[in-house]
Amino acid sequence: MKRFSVIFLLFISLYYPVSAQTDSALKISGYADAYYAYNFPEPRSRNISYAYNHNRHNEFNVNNVIISLKYTREKVRGTVALHAGTYVNRNYATEPGSLKYINEANVGIRLTKKIWLDAGIMPSHIGLESAVSKDCWTLTRSLNAENSPYYESGAKLSFEPNKKWTIAAFILNGWQNITENNSNKAFGTQIQFKPNEKTLLNYSTFAGEARNFPDGSYLMRHFHDLYFTYLISEKVSIASVLDLGFQEKSLTDKRFVGWYAPSLLIRYKFHPRFSSCFRAEYFEDKENVIGVNAAGFSLNFDYHPTENAMLRIEGRTFPEGDNKGNLHEKSFLNSTLTVSLAISF
């Protein structure tokens, strides 16, 4: 954390001398998400199961603090963003040194009027959700999000033929890693379609290494992420997500085994400042590739005292049952209550 503080102060000091000269091109923004979570199983490690975000039991902490600097011109753009928090500690544990404190670091150039080339550390092109809770429908992240990449390192070629379509291709270091850990590269695609202001459809893919071994051998993984959002009315909106993953079973057994994870979200706005969201989710991984087999439900209530602040409370449960679908007597004790206060500028 001391190293992050030094980097943060340097980051801010570099901003102010330049901002006065290029105010229209250079923008600084920030985000902080403080929370308290109580996990009823009361884990001794204080780590909440299935969670990389808001993952600490019975303690007040900060999930994510982000400071971001964006530079945008007609033909060039770039972003540098630093972060810290319990999300970073958990999700970036394998990244060496100060790299774990980099949220984004990328540059881009416009090749033609409708084509951009970006490279560096970027948010993942997979999934409806991100690590920034305020931008997500629910307070905590779904099983889909927690078990697919939040970030990626590589190059992106994007094409926007019109306002309805966005198409992108990626070459990446791998499945959520900044530093390269092998000689192989992964590939990805993304297609987004917005037929109108109410509807968004997305299809993202990943193909590349999933696990590496000292002798250079690896297991191949193919992943497909589909989601859509639809605004039914001014107050009601829905979203649906389906993730499909396939991976070679072992070094000696090259058969592909898979997992799938659907989820459904329904959001209701009572008032411009008050809203609620119900989520139903399921993750089936019979071959134990990811190591998650669960079904869950959550309900959150949100209050926006101002446009840039949000107070949220969420109850989430993963009830357990037998092979016949009967719930265990203490099934709903596998639950978590989370409260968060977030602000952005």
pLDDT in tens, 222-250: 999 999 999 999 999 999 999 999 999 88
Rounded to two decimals, the pTM is 0.89
Quote the domain boundaries for residue 17.
2-344
Q: List Cα–Cα distances, 169 to 103, 115, 128, 181, 271, in angstroms.
A: 21, 11, 18, 22, 40
In degrees, rounded to 5, the angle at the alpha carbon of residue 23 between the alpha carbons of residues 18 and 25 is 95
Q: Give the helix ranges, DSSP H, for the chain.
A: 2-19, 86-91, 143-146
The dihedral built from the CA positions of residue 333, 134, 300 and 200, taken in this order, carries a sign that is negative
The confidence score (pLDDT) of residue 253 equals 87
The confidence score (pLDDT) of residue 252 equals 84
The confidence score (pLDDT) of residue 180 equals 80
Q: Which letter does DSSP use for residue 48 in this model?
A: P
Structural domain count, the chain: 1
Residues 68 and 64: their CA atoms lie apart, in Å, by 13
Ranges of residues in the chain whose predicted pLDDT is under 50: 18-22
The confidence score (pLDDT) of residue 6 equals 53
Q: Which letter does DSSP use for residue 40 in this model?
A: T
The confidence score (pLDDT) of residue 329 equals 55
Q: What is the CATH number of the domain that holds 56?
A: 2.40.160.10
Residues 337 and 301: their CA atoms lie apart, in Å, by 12
Type of residue found at 299: L
Within 8 A by CB and 6+ apart from 15, the residues are: 26, 28, 69
Q: Which letter does DSSP use for residue 326 in this model?
A: P
Nearest to 300 by CA among 181, 133, 53: 133
Residues 256 and 77: their CA atoms lie apart, in Å, by 40
In degrees, rounded to 5, the angle at the alpha carbon of residue 87 between the alpha carbons of residues 82 and 89 is 80
